[in-house]
Amino acid sequence: MATQVSEDVAARANAIKEEANALFASKKYEEAIEKYTAAIELNPNVAPYYANRAFAHTKLEAYGSAILDGDKAIEVDPKYAKGYYRRGVGKYALARYKEAAKDFRIVVRLAPNDKDAKLKLDDCEKTAARIAFEKAIASDEVIKRVSDSIDVQSVLVEDSYDGVRIDDGKITKEFVDDMIQRFTDQKKVHKRYAYEIILQARKYFMEQPSLVDVKIPEDSKLTICGDVHGQFYDFINIFKLNGRPSEKNAYLFNGDFVDRGSFSLEIILTLFAYKSLYPTGMYLTRGNHETDDMNKVYGFEEEVKVKFSETMFKMFSETFICLPLAHLVQEKIFVVHGGLSSRDDVTLEEIKGIDRISKGQPGQGGLMSELLWADPQPLPGRSPSARGVGQKFGPDVTENFCKMNNIDMIIRSHEVKQQGYHIEHDGRCVTIFSAPNYCDSVGNKGAFINVTPDTEKGYKLDYVQFDAVEHPKSRSYTGRLGGF
């Protein structure tokens, strides 16, 4: 039953909604959400208020909250097409294709001229059918992996190729330097060498446990970086500021190398090549975007298919499932992309023993998924995540995990921070984010952490901030989430 609201209150609510719209247009999404909420508190009877707030939640990747606001908009007005659309987009972003298809089907019925809804409906139906088909095949026979069957030696490198070559399967510093310059100049590396880079990296990752121990030699340092999300020119700028990777200048990139930005392929090939060149100079953690569901929605799959082929994307997919899930630095710092579990009894040994390769894709529940998706919160305990996957964990959860496992702190990524990093939970939980001016719109700084050995504590942390650099314009590969 609708709440009775006077004309004066309704007018004030509408004025606040207009303020929220202006904030949204200025890309101040958190402030816009606060204003939409204020308008809703005054007048909860207006479906567009909820749909607009859902849109803002979507911009912040809070898809669970967007779905809930879609629910509210539909509750207020069951014939409001935009409510179903916003809810459908939230479900779509979480790879819940069958559910999203139901919402887009209603949108098409209520708004027959909505071409974007028709495209999304078609995509959802085709994707759901493909997934069902693949599951049916998998239940009947073992699917042969592309990585195990491809014959790299049969791929001819034309005489006209003007880049440094890989001879006898050995990736050299000269090759990597040349490849980075090619990428900077917006050229491609030959597909044969891309295959070799992927296969060599995959071999290393397959031999590692799900939790990798990292010791920093006395005369060396380890730099921990967060999300870089396809922002190749900002990614390379880290090396300009901090030195290129080597055995003494090691890096740990903590997930979400791909998606969103237009140069994900260039980043991941560079990281994989450095892993082969310097096995103890480059460490990589799997993020929630090194998964098939996210790559389909946020652009990496399409980017690889456009720049190379579907076969190459399958090789990346088969390699991503081999990436370690966490690292333990100097026996005291737990590094993971998302955060902590919904259980209080998780040990480092349990994490180390996760059979990530057999499991493949993390899904939307369980320990593996939580390590990739969880976020910290200021309040004690745990609560549902606005993302729609994983959960939030409080300072008491962090303290318990650290004490039980005899470690000092956790370093995680997964969230954009205006200063590039954020310290909370009494210093036990640090978020590091390394994609400045995220998606060319947020205006945040990037940051990384230099970790060096220390005789007293075992390690020393130094935080370094940096700004975005200019980059060439390139096509976007995230069209599946367009039309918001």
Q: Give the full edge-to-edge strand order of the sheet including 446-452.
A: 282-284, 249-253, 221-225, 446-452, 460-466
Coil/strand/helix, residue 295: helix
Record the tokens describing residue 150, joined without a space: 């491809």
Looking at residue 442, its amino acid is V
Rounded CA-CA distance 171/140 in Å is: 39
Bridge pairing between strands 446-452 and 282-284: unpaired
List CB contacts of 353: < 8 A, sequence separation 6 or more: 209, 210
Phi, psi dihedrals of residue 34, rounded to the nearest 5°: -60, -40
Record the tokens describing residue 223, joined without a space: 């730099």
List CB contacts of 438: < 8 A, sequence separation 6 or more: 229, 260, 416, 444
Beta-bridge mates of residue 252: 224, 283
CA distances from 62 to 87, 109, 138, 244, 362 (A): 12, 27, 32, 35, 19
Q: Which residues belong to the active site?
A: 289
User: What's the number of CA atoms in the CB half-sphere (13 Å) around residue 458?
Assistant: 11
List CB contacts of 342: < 8 A, sequence separation 6 or more: 370, 382, 391
List CB contacts of 250: < 8 A, sequence separation 6 or more: 214, 216, 220, 221, 222, 223, 278, 280, 281, 282, 283
Coil/strand/helix, residue 30: helix
Q: Yes or no: say if 293 and 95 are a contact pair by the CB < 8 Å rule.
A: yes
Q: Between helices 115-140 and 81-93, what is the axis angle to 10°?
A: 40
